[in-house]
Structures are given as structure tokens and as C-alpha cells.
Chain A
Amino acid sequence: MSPVQKRIFINKLALIFSTLSAIIALAFLFWILGVLVMKGLSALNWNIFIYEGAPPGYEESGLKHALVGQLILVGMATGVGVPLGILAGTYLSEYGKNSKLANTIRDISDIMMSAPSIVIGAFVYAIVVLPMGHFSAWAGSIALGIIMIPIILRTTDDMLQLVPGTLREAAFALGAPKYKVILNVVYRGAKAGILTGVLLGVARVAGETAPLLFTSFNDNFFTTDLSQAMPSLTVTMFNYATSPYEDWQQLGWAAAFILSMFILGLNILGRLILLSTKKGK
């Protein structure tokens, strides 16, 4: 074999191996999605949205309690996490810049982002659940909010820094005070990026189970009482799927399917928003 033929051979080999690896990696993803769609779709029916949890064997049992609980928990977490995350990110990019304090906050938030979520659950258990004496939706939302903050903080920081400095200068040159420069020029320029960060942050906490086990725990019945334990799709899914009852297992699949589609939807929406602004430029 001549040296050139040898190089062509090695090149082909590398191509084959990397393509195979990519296919194997993707295969698992499609396998998971495939099983989920098959089992989940067959478990779906209108009763799921109409009825709350019931003992095994009951015809009229559904996931209404978990769906509403999930929306309340994630909604409240978003209400806390998004403003805090965006304001903190604004501080980093527009006020702290490269100061020691700002860089320390960035490092800490990176560590928080990779902290196991169960640790945050245990933390909220210690500071909220123990003093209150019982599980509550408040505690669950606080745990999810804490997980959400560093994600939104970092994307906001990054997206604001992408806004060209000359745009800020131009606004200042017209006599705008700093808060107006940030509010109506910098935020506008980074709108799509910040929105994407928010969607990804929401998607991330929507799939959390561990922190909720310690905080909002679970309940098999419909409730909107925020000071009591609250059901969520994830914990309900965990309980139903590990139960010995066939009809509960079916509901577990349905919960998994609904949750995955919700998160997939948020992710796709985030991508679409980013894509549409790139096309605009």
C-alpha cells in the first residue's frame, strides 16, 4: 500500500468509526423516545385530565392533581427564579462587569449549576420544611427556583454582553440615564437570548424529581393549598411506576409522556426563537 492509499484508508476508517458512534448515541435517544411514545400514547385518555388520583383498580383515576400541582410548582418557581436571575445577570453584565465581586458570583453560580439537585432539595428541607413542620408547595417552588436562578443568571449575563458596546454608547450620547439604556436598548437587543434562557431554565426544573421529594413531597389528591404537600408529575410518576399495580404503571407512562413532550416543546420553542432572530439579522 502506498503512503497515499494508507492515508485514504485511515481517513475512511476514522469516518466509519465516528459515524457509527454518532448513530449509537442517537439510537439510545430514539429508543427512549420510541418506547415513551408507544407506552405513553396508549396510556393517554381523557380521564387523565379529568380525574385525580385514586386507589388502584378504580376506573375514574387520572393525573389532574399532578398536572395542576406541576404547573403550580413550576409556575411559582418561574415567578421567583426569572426576575432574580435576570436582575442578577443584569448586575453582572452592566454594573459588576469584570470586578472581583462579579467574577466571584459567576464562579459560584457555575458551581450551583452543576450542584446535584438533591442537595438543593436537602437544603430547602432544612431551612423551610423543618421549621414549618411539614412539606409544602412553597418549599418545592423555592427548591426549583434556586435551581433555576444560576441558569437564567448566566444566560442573561452572556446575552447582555453580546449587545455591542457602541449601542450603549449611542444611547448614552443621546443623554439617556443608565437604567433607561439598559431597559430600552440593551434588553431589547438581548430579548431573544434572554427568553431562550428562561425557557431552558423552566424546562430544566420541570423535569426535577429529587428536590421535590424533600420539599413538596407528593399527594394523591387534587389540591391548591400552597402550605401543604403538593403532587407533581415527576414524583407521581416515580410512585406510580414503582408500584405493583398495572393501572398505576399505565398512569406513570402517561405522566412520563406528557412531561417529556412539555420539556421537548419548551426546548424546540427556545431554538426557534433564537433561529428567528438570527435570520432577521
Chain B
Amino acid sequence: MASIIDIKGECALHVRNFDFTYKGATAPSLKKISMPIAKNSITALIGPSGCGKTTLLRSFNRMHDLYPGNKYEGEILFDGRNILDPKEDLIHLRTRIGMIFQKPTAFPMSIYDNVAYGLRLKGIKNKSELDGRVEKALQDAAIWKETQDRLKHDANGLSGGQQQRLCIARAIAVEPEVLLFDEPTSALDPISTQGIEKLVIELKEKVSIIIVTHNMQQAARVSDYTGFMYLGDLIELGYTEELFVTPKEKLTQEYITGKFG
């Protein structure tokens, strides 16, 4: 039986009895997952490759819908509604729950247009409002200093770490309530990684964050809560300090001490 802590404060999301089955698969890849996601906190998902942590993350913004034939069962409650409802407005959902990918995904356009992309999708056309919100997003993503003189330059000219911060700026520009990070530093060097981690911690004042990471030290450094997943099950969800020091489950204990994974 999984050991899931109760969260005292407010929750951003609630996962209840959630099953996910990929197209053509006979068995579900996620089995009866139930967990709360605390508001204005960082929840890290750890576990060995193929445990389903990315699959779970991509369910929160219904990314799996891009590839037809995948099946959701159970509930993910957001703002009192089940976002797994087939009638859910995915365009609206994705403006409220943003995502940062493993590899930086700067669009082939200028730095400014990258950040303005989501804002323009929302219908903001006013030049001064766009300018203001682009600047604020770039400042919040700690990349304003490096980019303010070359906003019209191609975003692909930035370094990997800068591109990843640009992607974060692009995501926070539309002021989402939740941000999903899918191993955001696995393609970056240690210094860029440090910068991104610092940024993620700062961001939790405004948004609730879920971060998938391969790196247990990273989970320990940045997160408030950690969930350990194994073979499609959520084995344990606890306060990060407690989970890494006194795990309640034997499997968690073995994983964090490096016995497998």
C-alpha cells in the first residue's frame, strides 16, 4: 500500500484513482494514482526510467491527447472540475497549466516573439501591453539582462541554458496557475542547472510547480514534496526532507540509497 501524506494547506490539483493506458497497450502505464499537489509549492516526481513520472506529468495538461488512442480513467481535479473530462477545453486548460520540456524548445522566431507567442494567442495585441508583459516575463525568468538589447534576434542564437530560461519566460508570460517541468535541466551544464533551480524556487511564490527529475539531489534541493514512482505506481508521497531521510516504504528506501534504478 502506498504511503501518501495529507497536505495541510491548499491544493492546486487532486489526482484520484487515476489510470492511464497508452494506445495499443494491454496494461495501464499508471495504476490507481491518488495524490494531492500542494499549492504554491514544488512537488518533485522521482523514480527509475519507465516508472511513469513523465506520463503522469503529461496528463496534467492533457498532452497525451495529441496522439489519439490513449485512455484516461479516474479524476484529476483542478479548480473543482475533472480535467480529464472529454469535454474539457484543452486550449484554455493549457493556458492555466503550462509546461517546460526536457530540451529547450525555442521557436524559430525572435526572442520577443517567443515570449509574446502565448500572449498573442490570448488575443493581446496592444503593443505597449505586450512590451510590458514580455519584459516582466523575461525579468521573472532572470534573462532580461542578457536579452534586452537583442529582443529582435533569433532565439536559436541563445545558449541552451538561456533558451531554457526563455521557455520559462514564455510559459510564465501567460500567468499560469501551475507549471509542469519535465526534466528541465537534463540537457544543461551544471551552472545553467543551478540557475534554473534557483528560478524554479523563486517561481513557487506565484505558481504551483510539479517537476519530474532523474536527479534525486535536484529533487532534494528544490522540492517541498516528493513523490516516488515505480512501475506505474505511486509508492510514496511525502515531505521532501522526510522522504529522503526516513522513507516510510522499503522500495523508496532502496531507491534513494541506490540499490536499484
- Which residues does A use to contact B, with CB under 8 Å? 164, 166-177, 180, 184-185, 188-189, 191, 280-281
Given A174-B170, A175-B121, answer yes or no on A169-B105 (Cβ-Cβ < 8 Å): yes
Interface string of B153-190 (1 = CB under 8 A from A): 01010000000000100110010000000000000000
Q: Which A-B residue pairs are the 7 nearest by beta carbons?
A: A170-B105, A175-B95, A173-B99, A175-B94, A174-B118, A188-B108, A175-B91
How many angstroms from the CA of A167 to the CA of B156 in the assembled complex? 12
Write the nearest CB–CB distance from B188 to chain A, whole angstroms: 15
- Which residues does B use to contact A, with CB under 8 Å? 61, 63, 66, 90-95, 98-99, 101-103, 105, 107-109, 117-118, 121-122, 154, 156, 167, 170-171, 174
Is A167 touching B94 in the complex (CB atoms < 8 A)?
no
Q: How many A-B residue pairs lie within 8 Å, measured between CB atoms?
A: 68
How many angstroms from the CA of A60 to the CA of B166 in the assembled complex? 65
Write the nearest CB–CB distance from B85 to chain A, whole angstroms: 17
How many angstroms from the CA of A280 to the CA of B155 in the assembled complex? 11
Q: Given B107, B154, B174, which contacts A185 in the complex, CB threshold below 8 Å?
A: B107
Closest to B171 in A: A174
Is B121 touching A180 in the complex (CB atoms < 8 A)?
yes
Q: Report whether over half of chain A's contact residues are helix, strand or loop; otherwise say mixed.
A: helix
Interfacial chain B residues near A188, Cβ < 8 Å:
107-109
Interfacial chain A residues near B92, Cβ < 8 Å:
175
Write the nearest CB–CB distance from A165 to chain B, whole angstroms: 9
Write the nearest CB–CB distance from B120 to chain A, whole angstroms: 9
How many angstroms from the CA of A281 to the CA of B155 in the assembled complex? 11
Write the nearest CB–CB distance from A188 to chain B, whole angstroms: 5
Interfacial chain A residues near B174, Cβ < 8 Å:
174-175
How many angstroms from the CA of A175 to the CA of B99 in the assembled complex? 10
Given A167-B105, A170-B101, A170-B167, answer yes or no on A176-B61 (Cβ-Cβ < 8 Å): no
How many angstroms from the CA of A241 to the CA of B167 in the assembled complex? 62
Instruction: Pick from B98, B117, B170 the residue with the most CB of A within 10 Å.
Output: B117
Write the nearest CB–CB distance from A185 to chain B, whole angstroms: 5
